[in-house]
Structure 1
């Protein structure tokens, strides 16, 4: 007997909750530490042309597909694919497991942020944030020599965040995720506004803005710039990661699907662009204060959050004791709303196939996730994290998007979704949208996947035992989950 009987925990209490959750899934750490640098390093203002082109030709069409699938079938991606053809089920598990693996190291980065949030009240990173980061947070070198040496502050923070995520996720949607996102997302935008508006008062902010938006029109002839734009949209909107399918499956029957897509995409892009203003305003201030050019300060990844920004806070004076905590709380909220989304595809898949209650599914995932996260809390954690992130993004995510485009575009026949999509939406889609899903998306993303694989296979780390083990696990677990007989009720 399924223990999901009479368990009505998979329904949003309102479309507003869904919107906040989807915006929260899209707005994450990548918006803060990745987009501004991608914009800056790929032609500046000129990059906005391929960026918006990618949104309209790929981001919006694929999200519409995912919303339609989730809303129509009210099921997990793996079950949708299994009902379509049993052999396709493994693609659904592969996708959900992939994003769950991202969560296992995403939580660790959130743990770093919690540490810095505490430190921000007294600038506990000291006068040399780079040294503090490398000796207290990212301990060890680019090898596995320190894999058995735990970094205690990171370990404690990581376990605490897993407990926090479990506390939210194990509850019914309207009492857990919905309540959290309806509070965190508005606060996130308010805190972002405070930081950005303050950044415009800083001397030197114009230096940052000029560096960020100064267009390099020649960049538009470089195919890599266009690929960077498409890559940014894929990861920024969490395309093809089963999140949108999962969240849309919880929607009430009168939801305006296409309208919701447009709201989520515009909110995410507005957030990215607005955040980029704040980031480069502050980098311009740092450039003026230090005498260093922007290109020697601007960076992407954890170094921006945990080295560059603490260095900036050190030269801000007393106001940093207000701005720094707001900044790290802002990062934490962005992390939480995305982390909740990363867990949901696997949670729903387990519930739908094996009859697990929401409490049971989330508890299992949090225990397994916390155990897997332990490897990232060691002295070799950052090295392993870098490898895992590169492998999952360049190999896994793009492959999942390609497979879903082909399966739903050609085998299922995406035209079948048109009545569902257009029924209650003010904006309608038709033959153009179908053509994009069937022809343009598979072609563009296949090219990106092939180029990513070439880069992955030509790096020295591609032969590491660690990478080989990761590839084996990435395929073995989804295959096992697909083979196990279903316990869902008829």
Structure 2
């Protein structure tokens, strides 16, 4: 593993101004595009109101416990994933860098979806999609080439707002944690909540909204006997809360020593789930109106999840309703704000890792990561192949990259370093809500097994059936290739010597001296 001639020099790290700033950022990271365009459709297709049962079980037994694990490791070891997991055990640095580069892969395509939202906010003013939102989205806006074709030709309607999105988020990250990420979340998250509440209230007063809500909440209790429904609930909570792949660990590493970790996790977890249910109410209120206008049942409405829901179904709804332009601006602005807060959290993981490893400033780290990220994002997702590339990369990096990093993370913490008993003791020493001993086998055994089953099912399907109708070469390059890129980049960064080490700005002299001893021991073990 990494080594150096002498122990790396300490470097003071930024920190949150207080618990509120951290909480807003954590909630902002959790509330993203998936809350708005994924949860409503997943819940509806997996038992409606009955889906809330496995969903809440997953929140309590997967989401919150994994949040506690992220918070415990980040707060105890005061560093980004590479540094924190390196302190758990020398070989853990690779897993930390793997988490970091999984975040890098996600962020380079996540920005493209925000660019779509920015452009559609403008399009909403005059319903620029016309009578056929489907063709407008794929043929006019994205100019998508066939799935068996690759094109470097730019889709200018995406390219320009995508470049602007990158300029914005890199400027925020370059200002550092408290002046950049925290300040942005204090503005964007309350604004998101206000805009979305206005949107939901408007949707509830549309003709047919009641039918949509009945379809969304009416339980199909027989679905609870289907294991796939439970796996869908676990997957939704896992992806929605951004747990297990470095984001919440990084955010927790900037907290002050005396911070209420477990209580904050409970607030963040339930706030995220509350927003998802609110999104379901808003989306299905609007879908009910659409079904009412078309004279069909809600079940006959197509496109109730993913990009199609946001960029095809909702434009149809906007065109049908009174005051549609205002509703459209509210919807797409909410989508952009939700995405920006999540994108900032992804960027902070990568920026934090570079700052910790090389002792760079926030502005320098933003420049070093921002230039390649922007170029890759524009080249692969601002082109006419952008939608196809995004679809493949998103599926593979989430179902394999994110899940495998979470499994490795949980197992590492269960068998190495202070182990889960030590992490539980750390949580209980600073928190109001005490973590029960049940948390240890839950995080160390049950959750990794559930995640492994999820990943194994995905891998088997991808190996046997490929991915949708894409050519095998495309799947290998953009799908398996995206995971391989994260692995190779993690290996390279792991073997580069540490030039600095993060220093907790709140540490006492005794704690700093103790850390020096631990660092020397780690360096010796690595050699």
TM-score band by shorter chain is over 0.9
Structure 1 residues 364 and 144: CA distance shift in structure 2, 3 A = farther
TM-aligned CA deviation for residue 144 of structure 1: 5.3
Q: Is the 8 A contact 2:89 2:416 kept in 1?
A: no
Q: Does 1:308 align with 2:320?
A: no
- In the alignment, the residues of structure 1 paired with residue 152 and residue 366 of structure 2 have an alpha-carbon distance, to the nearest angstrom, of 28
Match of 1:423 among 423, 429, 435: 429
| 3-state SS of 1:174 partner | helix
Could you say which residue in structure 1 is the equivalent of 2:448?
Answer: 442
| 3-state SS of 2:296 partner | coil
- In the alignment, the residues of structure 2 paired with residue 128 and residue 416 of structure 1 have an alpha-carbon distance, to the nearest angstrom, of 58
TM-aligned CA deviation for residue 320 of structure 1: 1.4
Stretches of structure 1 lacking an aligned partner (at least 5 in a row): none
TM-score (norm 2): 0.89
Q: Does 1:384 align with 2:396?
A: no
Q: Is the 8 A contact 2:33 2:339 kept in 1?
A: yes
Stretches of structure 2 lacking an aligned partner (at least 5 in a row): 1-7, 502-515, 517-527
- In the alignment, the residues of structure 2 paired with residue 336 and residue 14 of structure 1 have an alpha-carbon distance, to the nearest angstrom, of 22
Deviation readout 1:355-408 (Å, 9 max, x if unpaired): 221111111111111111121111111111111011011111110111111000
Could you say which residue in structure 1 is the equivalent of 2:519?
Answer: none
- In the alignment, the residues of structure 2 paired with residue 439 and residue 9 of structure 1 have an alpha-carbon distance, to the nearest angstrom, of 34
Match of 1:196 among 188, 200, 212: 200
Q: Is the 8 A contact 2:173 2:344 kept in 1?
A: yes
TM-aligned CA deviation for residue 247 of structure 1: 0.3
Deviation readout 1:94-117 (Å, 9 max, x if unpaired): 111001111111100000011001
Q: Is the 8 A contact 2:9 2:499 kept in 1?
A: no
Q: Is the 8 A contact 1:211 1:294 kept in 2?
A: yes
- In the alignment, the residues of structure 1 paired with residue 300 and residue 139 of structure 2 have an alpha-carbon distance, to the nearest angstrom, of 22
Q: Is the 8 A contact 2:29 2:342 kept in 1?
A: yes
- In the alignment, the residues of structure 1 paired with residue 349 and residue 14 of structure 2 have an alpha-carbon distance, to the nearest angstrom, of 12
Match of 1:121 among 103, 125, 130: 125
Could you say which residue in structure 2 is the equivalent of 1:73?
Answer: 77
TM-aligned CA deviation for residue 194 of structure 1: 0.7
Structure 1 residues 75 and 306: CA distance shift in structure 2, 3 A = same
Structure 1 residues 259 and 385: CA distance shift in structure 2, 3 A = same
Q: Is the 8 A contact 1:144 1:380 kept in 2?
A: no
TM-score (norm 1): 0.96
- In the alignment, the residues of structure 1 paired with residue 163 and residue 398 of structure 2 have an alpha-carbon distance, to the nearest angstrom, of 25
Q: Structure 1 stretch 431-440 or stretch 60-69: which is displaced more?
A: 431-440
- In the alignment, the residues of structure 2 paired with residue 234 and residue 469 of structure 1 have an alpha-carbon distance, to the nearest angstrom, of 23
Counterparts of 1:43-82 in structure 2, within 5 Å, are 43-82=47-86
Could you say which residue in structure 1 is the equivalent of 2:4?
Answer: none
Q: Does 1:269 align with 2:278?
A: no
Could you say which residue in structure 2 is the equivalent of 1:100?
Answer: 104
Match of 2:490 among 469, 475, 478: 478
Structure 1 residues 228 and 457: CA distance shift in structure 2, 3 A = same
Match of 1:452 among 458, 461, 470: 458
- In the alignment, the residues of structure 2 paired with residue 471 and residue 185 of structure 1 have an alpha-carbon distance, to the nearest angstrom, of 31
Match of 1:339 among 339, 343, 349: 343
TM-aligned CA deviation for residue 145 of structure 1: 2.5
- In the alignment, the residues of structure 2 paired with residue 6 and residue 77 of structure 1 have an alpha-carbon distance, to the nearest angstrom, of 17
- In the alignment, the residues of structure 1 paired with residue 98 and residue 9 of structure 2 have an alpha-carbon distance, to the nearest angstrom, of 27
Could you say which residue in structure 2 is the equivalent of 1:215?
Answer: 219
Q: Does 1:131 align with 2:140?
A: no
| 3-state SS of 1:175 partner | helix
TM-aligned CA deviation for residue 146 of structure 1: 4.2
- In the alignment, the residues of structure 2 paired with residue 359 and residue 57 of structure 1 have an alpha-carbon distance, to the nearest angstrom, of 39
Q: Structure 1 stretch 356-365 or stretch 254-263: which is displaced more?
A: 356-365
Structure 1 residues 469 and 274: CA distance shift in structure 2, 3 A = closer
Deviation readout 1:236-263 (Å, 9 max, x if unpaired): 0001120111000011122100000000
Could you say which residue in structure 1 is the equivalent of 2:512?
Answer: none
Q: Structure 1 stretch 305-314 or stretch 137-146: which is displaced more?
A: 137-146
- In the alignment, the residues of structure 1 paired with residue 296 and residue 219 of structure 2 have an alpha-carbon distance, to the nearest angstrom, of 21
Deviation readout 1:257-311 (Å, 9 max, x if unpaired): 0000000001000000011001000000000001233233242111111111111
Q: Which runs of 4+ in 1 moved over 6 A?
A: 4-7
- In the alignment, the residues of structure 2 paired with residue 480 and residue 6 of structure 1 have an alpha-carbon distance, to the nearest angstrom, of 22
TM-aligned CA deviation for residue 142 of structure 1: 4.1
- In the alignment, the residues of structure 1 paired with residue 254 and residue 483 of structure 2 have an alpha-carbon distance, to the nearest angstrom, of 32
Q: Structure 1 stretch 329-338 or stretch 464-473: which is displaced more?
A: 464-473
- In the alignment, the residues of structure 2 paired with residue 56 and residue 6 of structure 1 have an alpha-carbon distance, to the nearest angstrom, of 38
| C-alpha RMSD of matched pairs (Å) | 1.9
TM-aligned CA deviation for residue 80 of structure 1: 1.9
- In the alignment, the residues of structure 2 paired with residue 355 and residue 228 of structure 1 have an alpha-carbon distance, to the nearest angstrom, of 41
Could you say which residue in structure 2 is the equivalent of 1:401?
Answer: 406
How many corresponding residue pairs? 488
Could you say which residue in structure 2 is the equivalent of 1:10?
Answer: 14
Q: Structure 1 stretch 152-161 or stretch 404-413: which is displaced more?
A: 404-413
